[in-house]
Amino acid sequence: MEYGEKAYSIAKLSNDLRGLARASETLYLYHKDMGDTDQTLFYLEEFKKYSDSLFNNRNKNGILLLKAKSDFEKRQSELKAENDNIVLAKQNKINTSLLIILILLCTLIPLYLKHRKLGLLNYKIVEKSKLLEKREKELVNSNSTKDRLFSIIGHDLKAPIDSLRLLLSMHQKKEVSDKEFLQFSPKLNKDIGSVSFTLANLLNWGKTQMQGEQLERSNFTLQPVVHEVLSFLEASGKAKDLQLINEISLDAAVYADPNQIAIVLRNIVSNAIKFTPNKGLIRVISKDLKNKHQISIIDNGVGMDTITCRKILDPNEAYTTYGTDNEKGTGLGLLLCYELISKNEGEIWVESALGKGTSFHIILQKADRKEKVLKAV
């Protein structure tokens, strides 16, 4: 009954006689079975009404069709007679027209081909102009980025080395005692470590800019790589009494360049150490996706606002700021991370909020399980 009434309403709206007849018949039979006399009678009358309308329409259409067929045949006969009389004259006109068209084609085709060739050349010129503009813009952005980077790097490398040179010179001239010199050693050690890290990033970033750089992707397990990175940065973490925890699954394996992924992880964990206050926590975890693995470096540090999150992974930016212990960065590390992850056909993004810590996420292609042995770095 429900579907019959819906069908009846829809057919009523669209004035569908066939639909109205079928829906009325369905509702008539339903109410007949239910013993509802009034509704049975109503829908029986509706069914007959629409059935009769359909029948009348069919008859009317049949008569009209027969009349149209008769008129058509009569007119066709008349046209054939007329056509026989003028065929010869038209044939002459057609021949003349064909000759004119042939002459025009012989004239226009070369012009069309020339025009098409010119259009194609113009299209290529426009496309090349767009490509040149794009490359020019990329070159300007690249040069601007490199200028900013080398300006920052020059200052960050020169300042600690000058300080060390000056202190050594003063100690050599006895202007600073051994005791005073030793008091400066922790800061000097920290500065030299920063210089060493910056130089390593600079060399690695330089490699990414070289066209002949080789990408050596292979299958390897993530857990040992993360362990090595955390061990390398353990001293920096202890200086701030931080917990560095490796929660990477033992069977998490990816297909990428292991050395480049180690560089990426080292930079991100190093940043997490800089921006996490004393006694903080830094975790490195993994998540198994369908055909990929996600690596997340999560800290409970100072966090970042939305604008900063956008800037730090912008390939045209070299954003830098100071850590919780006034640690200075160059902005080169995260730029290097972005480029290396892109080269390994991965994804990298950051989630953060001020005062609520930061999470860096990396997605890499899962290792090919068909291989018998996965490379463990």
Domain extents in the chain: 1-134, 213-376
Would you give the DSSP letter of residue 328?
A: B
Task: Calculate what percentage of the chain has a pLDDT beyond 70.
Answer: 78
DSSP conformation letters of 157-171: HHHHHHHHHHHHHHH
Give me the residues paired with residue 363 across strands.
Answer: 294, 347
A 10 A CB-CB count for 265 gives 24
Mean pLDDT within 158-177: 76
**Distances in whole angstroms, Cα of residue 192 to Cα of each of 143, 155, 166, 229, 311:** 28, 14, 14, 19, 28
Write the CA distances from 220 to 27, 101, 139, 345, 366, integer angstroms. 70, 72, 35, 16, 10
pLDDT of 373 reads: 44
Q: Tell me how far apart the alpha carbons of residues 82 and 93 are, in angstroms, rounded to a whole number.
A: 17
Kindly tell me if the per-residue pLDDT of 176 is higher than 90.
no
Q: Write out 118-149 in H/E/C secondary structure.
A: HHHHHHHHHHHHHHHHHHHHHHHHHHHHHHHH
pLDDT for 282 equals 94
**Residue 206 — very low, low, confident or very high, per pLDDT cuts 50/70/90?**
low
Q: Quote the mean pLDDT of the chain.
A: 80
Superfamily in which the 213-376 domain is placed by CATH: Histidine kinase-like ATPase, C-terminal domain (3.30.565.10)
Tokens of residue 123, six digits? 């299209």
**Pairwise pLDDT comparison (262 vs 75), residue with the higher score:** 262
pLDDT-derived band at 321 (thresholds 50, 70, 90) equals low
- Helical axes 332-343 vs 37-172, angle rounded to 10°: 130
The one-letter amino acid code at 246 reads N
For 324, phi and psi rounded to 5 degrees?
-70, -25
Q: How far is CA 38 from the centre of its chain?
A: 65
Residue-wise pLDDT tens digits, 120-166: 888 888 888 888 888 777 676 566 556 655 655 665 566 667 777 77
For 141-150, which contacts have Cβ atoms below 8 Å and span 24 or more sequence positions? 141/316, 144/316, 145/315, 145/316, 145/317, 145/318, 145/335, 148/318, 148/331, 149/205, 149/318, 149/330, 149/331, 149/332, 149/335
What's the half-sphere exposure (Cβ side, CA atoms, 13 Å) at 11?
Answer: 18
Stronger pLDDT, 281 or 179, i.e. the higher one: 281
Output the DSSP codes for 165-193.
Answer: HHHHHHHHTTSS-HHHHHHHHHHHHHHHH
For the residues 222-231, what does the mean pLDDT come to?
A: 92
Length of the chain: 377
Kind of pairing between the strands at 347-352 and 281-288: unpaired
Comparing 303 with 329, which gets the higher pLDDT? Answer: 303
Range 17-28 average pLDDT: 86
- Residue 276 near residue 240 (C-beta atoms within 8 A): yes
